[in-house]
């Protein structure tokens, strides 16, 4: 009886490992392919000969990249943007989600606020009026244009509302009876138990800011001020669609797939580094049970 | 019940002070929304205009509902609308089931190192754009690609998946799920970690098998998060994934693969069609808003609390 | 306090959005307070095509960048150049004493166009800028936001520019497009004639199979068949495909490499453009009876594998991959095809030799080609700008002066053309339509010893040097640099063929859009492409072409055709 059960459990374990490894591999292969392309000679790349190992191994694209001063300038702008943007996002997520997570009995006005917030998530006036507001506030060509228009990440606010809602009310009440102010309760009780949720939402913000190329294109009137993804995006071009003589002259120097792959690889690395760092908080956040003790 | 209790606590001096704090906390955020969402919303009016940028919003001609009439008079509006709904709905379903499935499996694995490594790897494809992945996908599914080679082992005739209306949506949905499942599972993994370990302890003392624990403890604990994510993503039901479809479709599969966003993109290719774009945008927003409110009601009825 | 400032800012933004008054400032008189002498100096500068201003004139503009990435400048003397201080702007400063100040800059194409739209929408256009769409120009004219350039053009345009415009012929002058009610509202940028598409074939494959260069459709079919069946690469494997085809099949002639318009035109069909029918009326080429023959042919070719079975799903990278890996040795493309990686990579790694042939030809033995429109954009001047003539003068310098100038500054420009990171401010060069051919002829003259090297312009000189390097390398039995290969093959080989084997050119009767087109065209185009692809792949029978035409007409095609005819009549 006992043996049969452990045999079943053993098979299940093996099966789970196999599925997880297969799924993981399927995600890993295209990336390895990308890295292999970035390290291969351009002829081999054009001929689709590169699989998981580089063909005609070369570091030229990486050398070229390291010499591209704009790449690093844009990289630095993106780093600043992510830090500033995520801090701002987190500030608004916390300050908005906390009051809105309270019941309508405790905070009747929430019903009105929440409708506005949902409305703001789904409706947009399009890029022209938004551009006019941003340029009217003289924010174009400043980092604020990249972080302020999306300062309130409504989707994340709603996620956070729900996390806050799941915090046992007993904790809150006990503190209020002790005379703690709402802000103290937020900082001392809610935030510490919500670390996994905060880390998740922060991750969404970081990824969103890092990957967004469009606002850079829209609000930056100087190419030297582009964040990294905007810079990279405009370099990826279609070789076969030439429309004028000017472009023709540039054809001989067309950036090729190997170079683009290199840029993608290099720009993805920071996100690779950040994730395991945030994972730490996922684990240390399991304190809801512990607080009860 | 707790609501009543809270209401009692909220009455009196402490309560009004608390409410004031709440209003003040919300103020900065509401100002930001006012500036960057509500003021630009004036621009939606161009849906009712023949908008010309050089003339500005109030110099352009008002045309009433004409833009909407134009949208609905296209011979293929219905087809495009359905394609969008079907693809987006299938994505919604599988982008929920697979990440939940994967998170649970991953959670069952011992060994923190492996767990973390796997987690990090599967979240990577999210960062590759469809422009880049389109080549990978089209090679995978080409006549002499690995998928057809595999099917050939079972005597299946080669299929042009991306030029076959019976297969196109399946390929779109499955490749999207593949690309996003790792990233989508982040939130479920976080939710899994906040399950009280005490529950599992109690479970194993009672002698429940691991499988039973998953069915009776893990999944029910994930349910609120699942409901929340599904409801929130309902707001996206008219966004079936422009980047992906744009990079993978071709005229042969228009009838199953052309979606609202690709359609609007092609309209935009003819210069200066801001008004049509705005009209479609407004239409999508209204539908999404209705759906989200509906989902919230549903959630309230089924789980006892809404998502917002 | 901060909140109050913020609220004020919000209020002002809202007010701006709600009122949107056109803020065209009136003509500012910059000569106020000047002595007569100074006034005369300014006057003289303004009325001379190359007159240098007495003092530095700063103009705001939008700057077109290339998509190269600044790394192409790394390690060159131009490393620290910016869009406001580079070879071009320094040159203009030296010659005209003018300096650009960029209101915005972006890569030319969609990115730049978006910046222009935003500038126009916020009623804040720079002093001088390039706009690439005709529709945008129309909006600017109708909203009275730009200067009338008629007189300035008459007085200041240099001969090169005037002759260049004239070279496009009476009915197709770029100036016509920029003329509204008899007034010239912009300086049009010219679109060079891109010539005809060729069939590019692997010469080494032809030789292996002892085949002649094809010319008619039948001969083309025979060669393609041999390329599939007779193992042209001699590797003993059945691994080659016939003709690669762009997934869009036709359109944007001849810029769409891999598209096969020539197969249609050889049979008298002119898809995707407006043509004039026998009654002199404009009709849409894709819905004419003539379409049936090429569609039937392509359907048969598809079934027999003569065209790539998977063409509908191939991306451009896929197609380049097929050619680069030696699986395919035939495609249709324009004269600059040797720049495509499909050729450069086979040149570098294999012993591939490419040849361009005039094929498939029509009944008279010539390729039936389609003319491109004669303009590629417009330079406009903001209404009320005090030096409107500046736009014309910069175009003069760019199109004429700089090309004949042999100073060091002009050499810098030549070097920057090869580095290709910056463009001329205003992004407007006016050239005769057959400029590519003219340049090649000049170079050939020098190579044949009929002219001296010093007669070449700076641009021609760089092509000449490229060709020399290529020939030297070949002679030494080495592989030339792939950039030199591309330049030589395009400029010397394929343009020469354009000169030797001229094509019939059909000028489309209409290039722009009409009112109904804006909202309905994409729907009609979808219908068209769906039908064309399905007929070729055999999913639909050719008999369904007629019902497509009916549907096309009733879904707005007829109305648009009427509008097009009205627009032409105007």
The mean-pLDDT minimum among A13-17, B206-210, C228-232 falls in B206-210
Confidence at residue C29, expressed as pLDDT on a 0 to 100 scale: 67
Q: Does residue C494 belong to the interface with chain A, where contact is any CB pair within 8 Å?
A: no
Say whether both B25 and B149 belong to one domain.
no
Residue A1 is predicted with a pLDDT of 40
Q: How far is residue B79 CA from its own chain's centroid? A: 21
- Answer yes or no: do A143 and A27 share one domain: no
Q: Is C105 on the interface with A (CB under 8 A)?
A: yes
Task: Tell me whether residue B280 is in a domain.
Answer: no
Of C12, C102, C256, the CB nearest to A241: C256
What's the pLDDT band for C52 if we cut at 50, 70, 90? very high
- CA B241 to CA B246: how far, in whole Å? 8
Q: What is the pLDDT of residues C327-358, one digit of tens each?
A: 999 999 999 888 888 888 888 777 789 999 99
Determine the distance in angstroms separating the CA of B64 from the nearest CA of chain C, rounded to an integer. 16
Place of tokens 């076959």: B164
Choose the closest CB to C317 out of B35, B135, B251. Answer: B135
pLDDT, chain B, mean = 86
Question: With an 8 Å Cβ cutoff, is B140 touching chain C?
Answer: no
Q: Answer yes or no: is A101 within a domain.
A: yes
Chain C contact present for A248, CB below 8 A: yes
Whether A162 and A253 share a structural domain: yes
User: CB of C518 within 8 Å of any CB in chain B?
Assistant: yes
User: Which residues on A lie below 8 Å from B105 (Cβ)?
Assistant: 16, 19-20
Q: B260: domain CATH number?
A: 1.10.3720.10
Using alpha carbons, list the distances in angstroms from residue A170 to A152, B125, C499.
Answer: 29, 42, 88
For residue A52, tell me if it sits in a domain: no
Q: Is the pLDDT of residue C89 over 60?
A: yes
Whether C126 contacts C61, CB under 8 Å: yes
- Binned at pLDDT 50, 70 and 90, residue B174 comes out as very high
What are the residues whose beta carbons fall under 8 Å from the beta carbon of B152, sequence distance 6 or more? B158
> Which C residues, 255 through 314, put their C-beta within 8 Å of a C-beta on chain A?
255-258
Three-state SS at C190: strand
- Spell out the alpha helix ranges (H) of chain A: 2-38, 42-46, 60-67, 69-100, 110-122, 127-136, 144-147, 154-165, 169-177, 182-185, 191-193, 195-211, 214-219, 228-235, 245-250, 257-284, 288-292
Chain B residues near residue C6 by CB distance under 8 angstroms: 31, 35
Per-residue confidence (pLDDT) for residue B237, from 0 to 100: 87
Do B112 and B259 reside in the same domain of the chain? yes
Mean pLDDT for the stretch of residues C79-97 = 92
pLDDT along chain A (293 residues), means of 10: 62 89 90 88 78 86 77 92 97 96 90 92 88 93 95 93 84 83 89 86 92 90 90 61 46 58 83 80 47 31
Co-location of B25 and B99 in the same domain:
no
- Say if residue A172 is in the same domain as residue A208: yes
Domain assignment present for A73: yes
Residue C7 has pLDDT above 80, yes or no: no
* Residue B182 within any structural domain of the chain: yes
Subunits with 3+ Cβ pairs within 8 Å of C are A, B
- Give me the interface pTM, i.e. the ipTM: 0.85
Asked whether residue B21 falls in the same domain as residue B138, the answer is no
Q: Rounded CA gap, B51 and B57, in Å?
A: 7
Answer whether C82 touches A (CB < 8 Å).
Answer: yes
Domains of chain C: 52-192+374-427 (3.40.190.10), 198-370 (3.40.190.10), 435-506 (no CATH)
In a domain, A238, yes or no: yes
- Shortest CA distance to A250 belongs to which of C85, C67, C439, C105? C67
Q: In this structure, is residue B86 part of a structural domain?
A: yes
Is the Cβ of C519 closer than 8 Å to some Cβ of chain B? yes
Distance of residue B157 Cα from the nearest chain A Cα, in angstroms:
24
pLDDT in the model for residue C321: 86
Length of chain B in residues, anyone? 308
Task: Say if residue B6 is in the same domain as residue B111.
Answer: no
> Measured on CA atoms in the order C480, C486, C488, C494, is the torsion positive or negative?
positive
Non-local (6+) Cβ contacts of A125 within 8 A are: B37, B40, B41, B42, B43, B44
Q: How far is the C-alpha of C288 from the C-alpha of C141, rounded, in Å?
A: 36
Q: Is residue B48 part of a domain?
A: no
Domain that holds residue A262: 62-292
Q: Show Cβ contacts of residue A172 under 8 Å, excluding neighbours closer than 6 positions.
A: A185, A189
C326: left (phi over 0), alpha (psi -120 to 50) or beta: left
Residues A41, A143 within the same domain: no
* Residue A55 falls inside a structural domain: no
Looking at the domain assignment, is residue A154 inside a domain? yes
What is residue B272's predicted lDDT score, i.e. its pLDDT?
65
Residue B92 sits in the same domain as residue B16? no
- C267-312 per-position pLDDT tens digit: 999 999 999 999 999 999 999 999 999 999 999 999 999 999 999 9
Residue A53 domain-assigned (yes or no): no
The whole-angstrom separation of Cα C130 and Cα C499 is 32
Chain A residues with CB under 8 Å of C5 CB are none
Whether chain B has a CB inside 8 Å of the CB on A136: the answer is no
Find the length of chain A: 293
Tell me which residue range forms the domain holding B30: 2-38
Contact A45, A275 (CB under 8 A): no
Binding partners of B (≥3 Cβ pairs within 8 A): A, C
User: Residue C354 pairs with which residues in a beta bridge?
Assistant: C202
The answer to whether B19 faces chain C, any CB pair under 8 Å, is no
Domains contained in chain A, number: 2
Check whether residue B140 and residue B27 sit in a common domain. no
Are residue A120 and residue A260 in the same domain, yes or no? yes
Distance from C537 to chain B by nearest Cα, in Å? 9
Which of B128, B196, B285 faces A122 most closely, judged by CB atoms? B285
How many domains does one find in chain B?
2
Asked if residues B270 and C518 have their Cβ atoms less than 8 Å apart, the reply is yes
Assess whether B80 and B34 both reside in one domain: no
Q: Are residues A135 and A203 in the same domain?
A: yes
Are residues A136 and A261 both part of a single domain?
A: yes
B105/B189 Cα distance (integer angstroms): 10
On whether both A163 and A250 belong to a single domain, the answer is yes
pLDDT in tens, C397-452: 999 888 888 788 888 887 787 777 788 899 998 989 888 899 999 999 999 999 99
A141 within some domain: yes
Q: Do residue A78 and residue A25 come from a single domain?
A: no
């Amino acid at each position: 009886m006992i043996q049969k059960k452990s045999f079943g459990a053993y098979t299940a374990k093996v099966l789970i490992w196999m599925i997880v490894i297969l799924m993981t591999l399927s995600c890993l292969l295209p990336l390895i392919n990308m890295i292999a392309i970035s390290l291969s000679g351009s002829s081999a790349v054009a001929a689709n000969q590169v699989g998981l190992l580089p063909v005609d191994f070369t570091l030229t694209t990486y050398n070229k990249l390291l010499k591209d001063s704009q790449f690093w300038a844009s990289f630095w702008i993106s780093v600043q943007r992510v830090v500033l943007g995520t801090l701002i996002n987190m500030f608004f997520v916390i300050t908005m989600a906390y009051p809105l997570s309270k019941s309508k009995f405790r905070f009747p006005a929430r019903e009105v606020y929440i409708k506005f917030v949902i409305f703001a998530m789904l409706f947009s006036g399009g890029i022209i009026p938004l551009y006019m507001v941003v340029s009217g506030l003289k924010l174009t060509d400043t980092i604020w244009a990249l972080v302020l228009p999306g300062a309130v990440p409504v989707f994340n606010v709603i996620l956070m509302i729900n996390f806050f809602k799941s915090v046992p009310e007993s904790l809150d009440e006990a503190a209020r009876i002790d005379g703690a102010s709402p802000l103290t309760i937020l900082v001392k009780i809610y935030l510490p138990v919500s670390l996994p949720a905060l880390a998740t939402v922060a991750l969404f913000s970081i990824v969103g800011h890092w990957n967004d190329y469009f606002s850079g294109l829209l609000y930056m009137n100087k190419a030297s001020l582009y964040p990294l993804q905007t810079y990279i995006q405009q370099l990826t071009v279609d070789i076969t669609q030439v429309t004028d003589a000017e472009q023709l002259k540039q054809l001989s120097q067309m950036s090729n797939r190997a170079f683009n792959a290199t840029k993608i690889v290099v720009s993805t690395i920071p996100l690779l580094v950040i994730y395991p760092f945030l994972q730490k908080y996922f684990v240390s956040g399991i304190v809801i049970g512990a607080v009860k003790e | 019940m707790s609501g009543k209790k809270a209401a009692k606590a909220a009455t009196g001096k402490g309560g009004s002070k608390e409410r004031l704090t709440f209003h003040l906390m919300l103020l900065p955020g509401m100002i930001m929304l006012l500036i960057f969402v509500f003021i630009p919303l004036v621009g939606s009016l161009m849906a009712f205009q023949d908008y010309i940028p050089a003339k500005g919003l109030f110099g352009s001609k008002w045309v009433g509902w004409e833009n909407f009439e134009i949208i609905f008079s296209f011979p293929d509006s219905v087809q495009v609308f359905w394609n969008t709904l079907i693809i987006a709905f299938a994505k919604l379903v599988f982008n929920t089931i697979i990440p939940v499935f994967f998170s649970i499996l991953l959670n069952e694995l011992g060994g923190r190192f492996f767990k973390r490594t796997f987690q990090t790897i599967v979240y990577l494809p999210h960062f590759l754009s469809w422009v880049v992945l389109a080549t990978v996908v089209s090679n995978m599914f080409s006549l002499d690609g690995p998928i057809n080679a595999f099917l050939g082992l079972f005597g299946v005739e080669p299929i042009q998946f991306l030029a076959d209306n019976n297969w196109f949506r399946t390929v779109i949905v499955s490749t999207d799920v593949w690309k996003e499942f790792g990233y989508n599972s982040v939130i479920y993994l976080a939710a899994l970690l906040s399950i009280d370990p005490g529950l599992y302890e109690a479970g194993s003392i009672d002698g429940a098998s691991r499988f039973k624990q998953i069915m009776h403890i893990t999944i029910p604990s994930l349910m609120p998060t699942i409901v929340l994510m599904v409801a929130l993503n309902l707001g996206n039901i008219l966004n079936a994934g422009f980047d992906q479809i744009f990079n993978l479709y071709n005229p042969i599969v228009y009838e199953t693969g052309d979606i609202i966003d690709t359609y609007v993109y092609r309209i935009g290719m003819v210069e200066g069609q801001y008004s049509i774009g705005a009209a479609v945008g407004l239409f999508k927003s209204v539908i999404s808003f209705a759906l989200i409110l509906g989902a919230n009601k549903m959630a309230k009825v089924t789980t006892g609390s809404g998502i917002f | 306090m901060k909140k109050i400032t913020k609220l004020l800012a919000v209020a002002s933004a809202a007010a701006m959005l709600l009122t949107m008054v056109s803020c065209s400032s009136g003509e500012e008189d910059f000569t106020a307070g000047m002595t007569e002498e100074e006034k005369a100096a300014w006057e003289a500068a303004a009325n001379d095509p190359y007159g240098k201003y007495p003092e530095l004139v700063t103009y705001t503009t939008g700057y077109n960048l290339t998509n190269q990435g600044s790394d192409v400048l790394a390690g060159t003397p131009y490393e620290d150049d910016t869009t406001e201080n580079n070879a071009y702007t320094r040159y203009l400063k030296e010659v005209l004493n003018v300096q650009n100040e960029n209101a915005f800059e972006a890569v030319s194409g969609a990115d730049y166009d978006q910046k222009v739209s935003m500038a126009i929408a916020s009623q804040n256009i720079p002093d001088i800028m390039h706009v690439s769409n005709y529709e945008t120009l129309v909006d600017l004219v109708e909203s009275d936001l730009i200067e009338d350039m008629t007189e300035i053009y008459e007085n200041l345009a240099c001969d090169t520019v005037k002759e260049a415009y004239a070279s496009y012929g009476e009915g197709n002058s770029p100036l016509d497009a920029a003329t509204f009610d008899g007034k010239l509202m912009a300086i049009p940028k010219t679109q060079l004639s891109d010539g005809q598409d060729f069939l590019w074939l692997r010469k080494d494959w032809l030789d292996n199979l002892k085949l002649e260069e094809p010319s008619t459709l039948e001969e083309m079919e025979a060669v393609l068949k041999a390329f599939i069946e007779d193992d042209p690469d001699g590797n003993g494997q059945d691994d080659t495909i016939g003709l690669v085809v762009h997934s869009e099949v036709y359109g944007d002639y001849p810029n769409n490499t891999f598209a096969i318009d020539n197969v249609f035109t050889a049979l008298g069909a002119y898809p995707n453009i407006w043509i004039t029918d026998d009654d002199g009326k404009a009709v849409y080429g894709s819905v004419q009876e003539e379409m049936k023959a090429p569609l039937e042919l392509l359907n048969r070719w598809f079934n027999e594998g003569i065209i790539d079975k998977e063409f509908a799903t191939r991306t451009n990278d896929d197609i380049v991959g097929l050619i680069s890996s030696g699986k395919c040795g035939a495609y249709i493309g324009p004269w600059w095809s040797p720049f495509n990686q499909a050729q450069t990579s086979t040149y570098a790694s294999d012993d591939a030799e490419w040849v361009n042939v005039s094929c498939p030809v029509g009944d008279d033995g010539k390729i039936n080609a389609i003319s491109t429109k004669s303009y590629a954009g417009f330079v406009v001047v903001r209404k009320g700008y005090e030096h409107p003539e500046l736009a014309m003068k910069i175009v003069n310098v760019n199109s004429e002066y700089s090309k004949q100038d042999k100073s060091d500054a002009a050499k810098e420009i030549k070097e920057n053309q090869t580095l290709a990171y910056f463009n001329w401010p205003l992004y407007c060069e006016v050239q005769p339509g057959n400029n590519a051919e003219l340049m090649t002829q000049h170079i050939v003259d020098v190579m044949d010893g009929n002219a001296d090297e010093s007669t070449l312009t700076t641009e021609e000189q760089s092509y000449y040097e490229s060709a020399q390097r290529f020939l030297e390398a070949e002679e030494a039995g080495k592989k030339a640099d792939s950039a030199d290969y591309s330049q030589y093959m395009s400029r010397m080989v394929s343009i020469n063929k354009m000169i030797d084997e001229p094509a019939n050119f059909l000028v489309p009767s209409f290039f722009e859009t009409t009112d109904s087109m804006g909202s309905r065209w994409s729907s009609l185009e979808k219908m068209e492409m769906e039908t064309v692809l399905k007929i070729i792949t055999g999913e639909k029978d050719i008999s369904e072409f007629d019902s497509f035409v009916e549907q096309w007409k009733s879904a707005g095609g007829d109305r648009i055709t009427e509008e097009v005819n009205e627009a032409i009549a105007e």
